[in-house]
Protein backbone atom coordinates (compact mmCIF):
# COMPACT_ATOMS: atom_id res chain seq x y z
CA UNK A 1 0.00 0.00 0.00
CA UNK A 2 0.97 3.69 -0.20
CA UNK A 3 1.47 6.06 -3.09
CA UNK A 4 -1.63 4.96 -4.90
CA UNK A 5 -3.13 7.09 -7.65
CA UNK A 6 -6.68 8.38 -8.06
CA UNK A 7 -8.22 8.69 -11.50
CA UNK A 8 -11.68 10.32 -11.56
CA UNK A 9 -13.71 9.14 -14.53
CA UNK A 10 -14.94 11.92 -16.79
CA UNK A 11 -17.90 9.73 -17.82
CA UNK A 12 -19.65 10.89 -14.65
CA UNK A 13 -18.87 14.59 -15.21
CA UNK A 14 -21.46 17.18 -16.22
CA UNK A 15 -20.93 17.39 -19.98
CA UNK A 16 -22.73 20.71 -20.17
CA UNK A 17 -20.09 22.11 -17.82
CA UNK A 18 -17.14 19.97 -18.79
CA UNK A 19 -14.54 22.72 -18.43
CA UNK A 20 -15.65 23.40 -14.85
CA UNK A 21 -15.34 19.72 -13.96
CA UNK A 22 -11.91 19.50 -15.62
CA UNK A 23 -10.73 22.48 -13.62
CA UNK A 24 -12.15 20.91 -10.46
CA UNK A 25 -9.97 17.85 -11.11
CA UNK A 26 -6.97 20.02 -12.01
CA UNK A 27 -7.10 21.67 -8.61
CA UNK A 28 -7.88 18.48 -6.69
CA UNK A 29 -5.61 15.74 -5.35
CA UNK A 30 -6.46 13.53 -8.32
CA UNK A 31 -3.52 12.10 -10.28
CA UNK A 32 -5.06 11.22 -13.64
CA UNK A 33 -8.12 11.87 -15.75
CA UNK A 34 -9.79 8.57 -16.66
CA UNK A 35 -11.46 8.88 -20.06
CA UNK A 36 -13.93 6.18 -21.16
CA UNK A 37 -14.36 5.67 -24.89
CA UNK A 38 -17.27 3.34 -25.78
CA UNK A 39 -18.39 2.17 -29.19
CA UNK A 40 -21.83 0.68 -28.60
CA UNK A 41 -20.52 -2.64 -29.95
CA UNK A 42 -18.10 -4.04 -27.39
CA UNK A 43 -20.22 -2.42 -24.67
CA UNK A 44 -23.93 -1.60 -24.71
CA UNK A 45 -23.39 2.16 -24.53
CA UNK A 46 -21.80 4.98 -26.53
CA UNK A 47 -19.94 7.62 -24.54
CA UNK A 48 -17.91 10.09 -26.62
CA UNK A 49 -14.99 10.04 -28.98
CA UNK A 50 -12.08 11.98 -30.35
CA UNK A 51 -13.44 15.56 -30.45
CA UNK A 52 -14.34 15.33 -26.76
CA UNK A 53 -10.94 13.85 -25.86
CA UNK A 54 -9.36 16.73 -27.75
CA UNK A 55 -11.38 19.22 -25.70
CA UNK A 56 -10.47 17.49 -22.43
CA UNK A 57 -6.82 17.46 -23.43
CA UNK A 58 -6.88 21.22 -23.99
CA UNK A 59 -7.67 21.97 -20.33
CA UNK A 60 -6.51 18.90 -18.40
CA UNK A 61 -3.29 19.44 -16.46
CA UNK A 62 -2.89 15.81 -15.38
CA UNK A 63 -2.20 12.59 -17.24
CA UNK A 64 -4.93 11.30 -19.53
CA UNK A 65 -5.72 7.65 -18.89
CA UNK A 66 -7.72 6.59 -21.93
CA UNK A 67 -9.82 3.42 -21.60
CA UNK A 68 -10.86 2.07 -24.99
CA UNK A 69 -13.99 -0.06 -24.82
CA UNK A 70 -14.06 -0.49 -28.58
CA UNK A 71 -13.60 -3.30 -31.05
CA UNK A 72 -10.60 -3.12 -33.40
CA UNK A 73 -8.77 -0.71 -31.10
CA UNK A 74 -5.58 -1.01 -33.19
CA UNK A 75 -7.20 1.12 -35.88
CA UNK A 76 -7.50 4.14 -33.60
CA UNK A 77 -4.51 3.94 -31.25
CA UNK A 78 -2.33 6.36 -33.17
CA UNK A 79 -5.09 8.95 -33.25
CA UNK A 80 -5.80 8.62 -29.53
CA UNK A 81 -2.09 9.00 -28.81
CA UNK A 82 -1.89 12.15 -30.97
CA UNK A 83 -4.79 13.64 -29.04
CA UNK A 84 -2.74 13.63 -25.84
CA UNK A 85 -3.27 10.24 -24.19
CA UNK A 86 -0.62 9.32 -21.63
CA UNK A 87 -1.90 5.76 -21.12
CA UNK A 88 -3.95 3.77 -23.57
CA UNK A 89 -5.84 0.79 -22.20
CA UNK A 90 -7.36 -1.72 -24.57
CA UNK A 91 -9.54 -4.70 -23.66
CA UNK A 92 -8.12 -8.21 -23.79
CA UNK A 93 -11.53 -9.35 -25.10
CA UNK A 94 -11.33 -7.07 -28.16
CA UNK A 95 -7.86 -8.06 -29.43
CA UNK A 96 -7.25 -10.80 -31.95
CA UNK A 97 -3.54 -10.37 -31.55
CA UNK A 98 -2.79 -8.72 -28.24
CA UNK A 99 0.98 -8.82 -28.78
CA UNK A 100 0.61 -6.74 -31.93
CA UNK A 101 -1.78 -4.28 -30.31
CA UNK A 102 0.64 -3.83 -27.39
CA UNK A 103 3.42 -3.11 -29.89
CA UNK A 104 1.29 -0.54 -31.70
CA UNK A 105 0.64 1.31 -28.44
CA UNK A 106 4.33 1.15 -27.43
CA UNK A 107 5.32 2.52 -30.81
CA UNK A 108 3.33 5.70 -30.12
CA UNK A 109 5.33 6.25 -26.90
CA UNK A 110 2.41 6.10 -24.47
CA UNK A 111 2.03 3.65 -21.59
CA UNK A 112 0.16 0.40 -22.23
CA UNK A 113 -2.78 -0.88 -20.22
CA UNK A 114 -4.77 -4.07 -20.75
CA UNK A 115 -8.27 -4.28 -19.25
CA UNK A 116 -10.15 -7.48 -18.45
CA UNK A 117 -13.85 -7.92 -17.82
CA UNK A 118 -15.09 -9.48 -14.57
CA UNK A 119 -15.63 -12.85 -16.30
CA UNK A 120 -12.22 -13.07 -17.99
CA UNK A 121 -9.74 -15.28 -16.14
CA UNK A 122 -6.84 -13.27 -14.67
CA UNK A 123 -4.49 -16.07 -15.81
CA UNK A 124 -4.82 -15.05 -19.47
CA UNK A 125 -2.60 -12.07 -18.63
CA UNK A 126 0.41 -14.14 -17.50
CA UNK A 127 2.20 -14.03 -20.82
CA UNK A 128 1.78 -10.27 -21.18
CA UNK A 129 2.55 -9.20 -17.63
CA UNK A 130 6.16 -8.25 -18.39
CA UNK A 131 5.22 -6.35 -21.53
CA UNK A 132 2.62 -3.93 -20.20
CA UNK A 133 2.56 -1.02 -17.74
CA UNK A 134 -0.83 -1.64 -16.22
CA UNK A 135 -3.71 -4.07 -15.92
CA UNK A 136 -7.14 -2.49 -15.62
CA UNK A 137 -9.19 -4.93 -13.60
CA UNK A 138 -12.88 -4.18 -14.09
CA UNK A 139 -14.96 -4.10 -10.91
CA UNK A 140 -18.15 -4.05 -13.04
CA UNK A 141 -19.08 -5.09 -16.56
CA UNK A 142 -18.00 -2.09 -18.65
CA UNK A 143 -20.58 0.21 -20.21
CA UNK A 144 -22.03 2.37 -17.49
CA UNK A 145 -21.02 4.32 -14.43
CA UNK A 146 -22.81 3.87 -11.14
CA UNK A 147 -22.98 0.06 -11.16
CA UNK A 148 -22.54 -2.11 -8.10
CA UNK A 149 -19.03 -3.35 -7.38
CA UNK A 150 -18.52 -7.08 -7.97
CA UNK A 151 -17.03 -8.51 -4.75
CA UNK A 152 -14.95 -11.22 -6.39
CA UNK A 153 -12.74 -8.41 -7.74
CA UNK A 154 -10.84 -8.44 -4.41
CA UNK A 155 -9.75 -12.01 -4.94
CA UNK A 156 -8.94 -11.36 -8.61
CA UNK A 157 -6.80 -8.41 -7.55
CA UNK A 158 -4.83 -10.55 -5.08
CA UNK A 159 -4.34 -13.21 -7.74
CA UNK A 160 -3.08 -10.60 -10.17
CA UNK A 161 -0.70 -9.20 -7.58
CA UNK A 162 0.72 -12.68 -7.03
CA UNK A 163 1.23 -13.07 -10.76
CA UNK A 164 3.02 -9.71 -10.93
CA UNK A 165 5.30 -10.57 -8.00
CA UNK A 166 6.15 -14.04 -9.25
CA UNK A 167 7.03 -12.68 -12.69
CA UNK A 168 9.12 -9.89 -11.23
CA UNK A 169 6.99 -7.43 -13.16
CA UNK A 170 6.55 -3.70 -12.53
CA UNK A 171 3.01 -3.80 -13.90
CA UNK A 172 0.52 -1.68 -11.95
CA UNK A 173 -3.04 -2.67 -11.05
CA UNK A 174 -5.88 -0.27 -11.77
CA UNK A 175 -9.40 -0.98 -10.53
CA UNK A 176 -12.23 0.45 -12.60
CA UNK A 177 -15.92 0.32 -11.73
CA UNK A 178 -17.84 0.55 -8.50
CA UNK A 179 -14.98 2.00 -6.46
CA UNK A 180 -16.01 3.91 -3.32
CA UNK A 181 -14.90 4.49 0.25
CA UNK A 182 -16.47 1.15 1.19
CA UNK A 183 -14.03 -0.93 -0.90
CA UNK A 184 -11.04 1.33 -1.66
CA UNK A 185 -8.93 0.36 1.36
CA UNK A 186 -9.44 -3.35 0.84
CA UNK A 187 -8.59 -2.98 -2.86
CA UNK A 188 -5.33 -1.27 -1.94
CA UNK A 189 -4.62 -4.05 0.55
CA UNK A 190 -5.19 -6.57 -2.26
CA UNK A 191 -2.52 -4.82 -4.34
CA UNK A 192 -4.31 -2.12 -6.35
CA UNK A 193 -2.16 0.90 -7.29
CA UNK A 194 -4.68 3.04 -9.15
CA UNK A 195 -8.34 3.61 -8.29
CA UNK A 196 -10.75 4.91 -10.92
CA UNK A 197 -13.87 6.54 -9.50
CA UNK A 198 -16.76 7.99 -11.46
CA UNK A 199 -20.10 8.32 -9.73
CA UNK A 200 -18.60 8.14 -6.24
CA UNK A 201 -16.67 11.36 -6.97
CA UNK A 202 -19.06 13.28 -9.20
CA UNK A 203 -22.29 12.46 -7.39
CA UNK A 204 -20.85 13.44 -4.04
CA UNK A 205 -21.60 16.79 -2.46
CA UNK A 206 -17.96 17.83 -2.49
CA UNK A 207 -16.06 16.02 -5.27
CA UNK A 208 -12.67 17.46 -4.33
CA UNK A 209 -13.10 16.29 -0.76
CA UNK A 210 -14.15 12.85 -2.01
CA UNK A 211 -11.02 12.68 -4.15
CA UNK A 212 -8.91 13.61 -1.09
CA UNK A 213 -10.64 10.92 0.96
CA UNK A 214 -9.68 8.27 -1.59
CA UNK A 215 -6.17 9.67 -2.01
CA UNK A 216 -5.42 9.82 1.71
CA UNK A 217 -6.25 6.24 2.60
CA UNK A 218 -3.16 4.84 4.29
C1 LIG B 1 -17.30 1.61 -16.88
C2 LIG B 1 -16.21 2.63 -17.08
C3 LIG B 1 -15.78 3.21 -15.80
C4 LIG B 1 -16.86 4.06 -15.17
C5 LIG B 1 -16.69 3.99 -13.69
O6 LIG B 1 -17.59 1.02 -18.08
O7 LIG B 1 -15.08 2.03 -17.68
O8 LIG B 1 -14.58 3.96 -15.93
O9 LIG B 1 -16.81 5.40 -15.59
O10 LIG B 1 -17.78 4.58 -13.06
P11 LIG B 1 -18.16 4.22 -11.56
O12 LIG B 1 -16.97 4.59 -10.71
O13 LIG B 1 -19.37 5.07 -11.29
O14 LIG B 1 -18.45 2.75 -11.51
ZN1 LIG C 1 -13.12 3.07 -17.49
Mean pLDDT of 198-215: 98
Closest CA to 112 of 121, 123, 103: 103
198 CB near ligand 1 (under 6 Å): yes
- Ligand 1: distance of its center to the CA of 103 in Å? 26
Residue spans per domain, the chain: 5-215
Atom of ligand 1 nearest to the CA of 43: 6
- Ligand 1: distance of its center to the CA of 218 in Å? 23
86 is catalytic: no
- pLDDT by residue (tens digit) across 3-12? 999 999 999 9
- pLDDT by residue (tens digit) across 26-45? 999 999 999 999 999 999 99
Q: Whole-model pTM above 0.85? A: yes
Does position 146 have pLDDT exceeding 70, yes or no?
A: yes
CATH topology of domain 5-215: TIM Barrel (3.20.20)
121 is catalytic: no
Amino acid sequence: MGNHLIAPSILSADFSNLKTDIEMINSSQADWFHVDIMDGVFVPNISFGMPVLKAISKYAKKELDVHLMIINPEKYIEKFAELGSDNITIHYETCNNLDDTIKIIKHTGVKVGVAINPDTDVKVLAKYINKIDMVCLMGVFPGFSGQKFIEKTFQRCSELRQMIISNNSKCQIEIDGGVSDTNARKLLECGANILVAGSFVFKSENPQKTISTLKNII
